[in-house]
Chains A and B, each alone.
Chain A
């Protein structure tokens, strides 16, 4: 898991720090943001993660809004929602906004790590295919592949 930049966004510090520590034990270094504003600031400051693990219910800017803004600005960022409050409607909405996966707390760390890897792999594959098209001069197709994430 080395080389995957993971950002954990959750207002429950006790939970998110422990999760980060356990992930680092599994060679997945993760940074932590304790609310929506912080997460957005980090991303706009240039620390664009490969995969973002996002809680939905947070004070201030909530997870759904963070998801919407990040996917708009950086469609290549893969977002996995991990929430204790989600309903089916939330799941539907998150997937519509481009969430890669949706989990309810508590989740087995191995499942989470597996999904992070899967998300990363998919992102890389898309980028590679797009790059191949780009190298061949087919920028339309390359852009289309990258844009698909925006939808």
Chain B
């Protein structure tokens, strides 16, 4: 709820009409919109990329690991087949021949040679009687008479019936295994037929897997003792320097780190009828070689996309916020100008009402005093005539003063009406200047006026021009120190244009200030200015078809020059 609300308010603030143009507002807006745009584009991309990444990886891993698993499985089968064949052979001999026949070493030798011819790997063959003593033996060593009654393999053969040993060196100094089968004679005596098999066959089976030089495959027993030599993890009968993988009868793969610190995939399978585990080790780097290439491509694609999104988000936001700001500024400027005009307009109406109401009693005073004067002049003999004349004159002068005030108030209200008329720019300038006479007097500001007496009348709006001149004069008065000077001049620039310049010797402006002078809400007056004076001035002059130029030197003063056309511009529809 609150998150949703916050999300909504984000959009609301973007669309609200702001009450002021605060740069922080637009910075925040820019930040928020950029963030939103980026998040909206990057998050799905990120999710998609992550899913792609993992799926590609999983697929590739499967594709690479599955053949290895098949190979390991097949090789285990070969091992099992090899062992099963040997065990069957020993079992078959024990069933076909009686112990008595086997006890005869000539028979045993014949059988041994036949078997060796059929099944490579047989080293020797021997019969052990029920006391655990080698009764007969054929093979390269002299083992006849050796007592095995306490040997572990003998005990296990007695219990299990068939026994396949781990690889061991024994005193033969090369790896081999023992396969033993127990039989019972009809009269209940047990005997064991024992064969030794050379595990050189194991190495050939491993070699037939055809592994890459970085890979490894070997057989270990359940206790982790190597049954065949390993490329990286030790010789036959060394302890495998890694923990044994969990027991499973299916061929499985696990990821781990070997003692050399290489990340490896181990594919392994437990034998079903022997305590052996076949393991194939492949370094991860090798498996992931194609994946690494693909991953680089994926990452490059992602980074490029994000960069593109970011640049579009930033660019778009910048454009949007700048437009928004410009439109806000225009809207507020229009609003403030309207408010300003309305305020002036209502002041104007009030002033006009007061002026009209005062004019009538003023006319009565004027006539009464005039009549008094007339009567006095007509009377032949009037005591203190001079004194009365002075009194009446004083009254008439005051009436004249009131009259000029009410007429000026009426002139002010008149400025609120939009009205193109033939007017004398000199008159308008002088009239506007009269509003500031009191201030000029108080602050000892010298106003010098150089007006072209031959100025033609122009078609323009008196009220709007007064506002323009008043704005410029106000700025000039604000810029000059007490005792400064303001110079007004008018001239005919060309047959169609008149020029008006207002020059002061005030503090002037920097180029930076000058660049922004016609922008709305730009002010150097800190607290007293609205920042709209020159903006409105510019707007009025453009609507009247004129032009305005400002020259300024910091510390030396400012000259504002206004050019006005003789004929009103077609765009001079004010108030729009």
Chain A interface residues (CB < 8 Å from chain B): 12, 14-15, 18-19, 21-22, 25, 84-85, 87-89, 104-107, 109
The stretch of B284-292, B352-360, B500-508 that contacts the partner chain: B352-360
Which of A14, A19, A105 touches B359 (beta carbons < 8 Å)?
A105
Instruction: Report 5 cross-chain contacts, Cβ distance below 8 Å, ordered by A residue.
Output: A22-B367, A84-B356, A104-B407, A106-B362, A109-B370
CB distance from A28 to the nearest CB of B (A): 13
Which of B378, B399, B414 touches A106 (beta carbons < 8 Å)?
B399
B403 at interface, CB cutoff 8 A: yes
Decide: A18 and B367 in contact? CB cutoff 8 A: yes
Given A15-B367, A84-B356, A87-B414; A25-B362 close (CB under 8 Å): no
B100 at interface, CB cutoff 8 A: no
The distance in angstroms between the C-alpha atoms of A12 and B364, with both chains bound, is 9
Given A18-B367, A19-B367, A21-B371; A87-B359 close (CB under 8 Å): no
Q: Which residues of A contact B367 (CB under 8 A)?
A: 15, 18-19, 22, 106, 109
Chain A residue nearest to B462 (CB atoms) is: A88
Which of B362, B371, B417 touches A105 (beta carbons < 8 Å)?
B362
Given A25-B374, A25-B378; A18-B368 close (CB under 8 Å): yes
Q: Which residues of B contact A14 (CB under 8 A)?
A: 364
CB distance from A133 to the nearest CB of B (A): 34
CB distance from B510 to the nearest CB of A (A): 43
Q: Which residues of B contact A87 (CB under 8 A)?
A: 352, 410, 414
Decide: B352 and A18 in contact? CB cutoff 8 A: no
B10 at interface, CB cutoff 8 A: no
The distance in angstroms between the C-alpha atoms of A104 and B402, with both chains bound, is 13
Given A87-B414, A106-B365, A106-B399; A22-B360 close (CB under 8 Å): no
Given A25-B374, A87-B352; A15-B360 close (CB under 8 Å): yes
Given A12-B364, A18-B367; A104-B359 close (CB under 8 Å): yes
Decide: B368 and A84 in contact? CB cutoff 8 A: no
Q: Which residues of A contact B357 (CB under 8 A)?
A: 84
Which of B356, B368, B374, B414 touches A85 (beta carbons < 8 Å)?
B356
Q: Which residues of A contact B366 (CB under 8 A)?
A: 105-107
The distance in angstroms between the C-alpha atoms of A107 and B407, with both chains bound, is 12
The distance in angstroms between the C-alpha atoms of A87 and B356, with both chains bound, is 10
Q: Which residues of B contact A18 (CB under 8 A)?
A: 364, 367-368, 370-371
Decide: B356 and A22 in contact? CB cutoff 8 A: no
Given A106-B399, A107-B366, 7 extra CB contacts under 8 A: A22-B367, A25-B374, A84-B357, A84-B360, A106-B362, A106-B363, A106-B367
Chain B residue nearest to A82 (CB atoms) is: B363
Chain B residue nearest to A20 (CB atoms) is: B367
The distance in angstroms between the C-alpha atoms of A105 and B402, with both chains bound, is 11
Decide: B371 and A15 in contact? CB cutoff 8 A: no
CB distance from A34 to the nearest CB of B (A): 14
Number of chain B residues close to chain A: CB under 8 A: 23
Residues 393-433 of B at the A interface (beta carbon under 8 Å) = 399, 403, 407, 410, 414, 417, 419
The distance in angstroms between the C-alpha atoms of A25 and B374, with both chains bound, is 8
Q: Counting chain A CB atoms within 10 Å of each CB, which of B370, B403, B417 scores highest? A: B370
Chain B residue nearest to A110 (CB atoms) is: B370
Decide: B370 and A15 in contact? CB cutoff 8 A: no
Decide: A22 and B363 in contact? CB cutoff 8 A: no
The distance in angstroms between the C-alpha atoms of A96 and B482, with both chains bound, is 50
Q: Which residues of B contact A88 (CB under 8 A)?
A: 414, 417, 419
Q: Which residues of B contact A106 (CB under 8 A)?
A: 359, 362-363, 365-367, 399, 403
The distance in angstroms between the C-alpha atoms of A87 and B366, with both chains bound, is 21
Q: Which residues of B contact A89 (CB under 8 A)?
A: 417
The distance in angstroms between the C-alpha atoms of A21 and B374, with both chains bound, is 10
Decide: A12 and B360 in contact? CB cutoff 8 A: yes
Decide: A105 and B360 in contact? CB cutoff 8 A: yes
Decide: A15 and B364 in contact? CB cutoff 8 A: yes
The distance in angstroms between the C-alpha atoms of A139 and B399, with both chains bound, is 50
Chain B residue nearest to A16 (CB atoms) is: B367
The distance in angstroms between the C-alpha atoms of A89 and B365, with both chains bound, is 27
The distance in angstroms between the C-alpha atoms of A104 and B411, with both chains bound, is 13
Q: Which residues of A contact B359 (CB under 8 A)?
A: 84-85, 104-106
Q: Which residues of A contact B403 (CB under 8 A)?
A: 106
Given A84-B356, A85-B356; A15-B363 close (CB under 8 Å): yes
The distance in angstroms between the C-alpha atoms of A104 and B406, with both chains bound, is 10
The distance in angstroms between the C-alpha atoms of A46 and B428, with both chains bound, is 47
Decide: A22 and B364 in contact? CB cutoff 8 A: no
CB distance from B336 to the nearest CB of A (A): 28
Chain A residue nearest to B403 (CB atoms) is: A106
Decide: A105 and B363 in contact? CB cutoff 8 A: yes
CB distance from B491 to the nearest CB of A (A): 29
Chain A residue nearest to B407 (CB atoms) is: A104
Q: Counting chain B CB atoms within 10 Å of each CB, which of A15, A22, A105, A109 scores highest? A: A105
The distance in angstroms between the C-alpha atoms of A69 and B356, with both chains bound, is 25
Chain B residue nearest to A84 (CB atoms) is: B359
The distance in angstroms between the C-alpha atoms of A106 and B374, with both chains bound, is 17
CB distance from B450 to the nearest CB of A (A): 30
Interface string of B87-105 (1 = CB under 8 A from A): 0000000000000000000
Chain B residue nearest to A83 (CB atoms) is: B359
The distance in angstroms between the C-alpha atoms of A25 and B363, with both chains bound, is 18
The distance in angstroms between the C-alpha atoms of A88 and B414, with both chains bound, is 8
The distance in angstroms between the C-alpha atoms of A107 and B366, with both chains bound, is 8
Q: Counting chain A CB atoms within 10 Å of each CB, which of B371, B378, B407, B419 scores highest? A: B371
Q: Which residues of B contact A85 (CB under 8 A)?
A: 356, 359
Q: Which residues of B contact A12 (CB under 8 A)?
A: 360, 363-364
CB distance from B401 to the nearest CB of A (A): 11
The distance in angstroms between the C-alpha atoms of A19 and B368, with both chains bound, is 8
Q: Which residues of B contact A25 (CB under 8 A)?
A: 374, 378
Q: Which residues of B contact A109 (CB under 8 A)?
A: 367, 370
Interface string of B364-392 (1 = CB under 8 A from A): 11111011001000100000000000000
Q: Which residues of A contact B370 (CB under 8 A)?
A: 18, 22, 109
The distance in angstroms between the C-alpha atoms of A7 and B363, with both chains bound, is 18
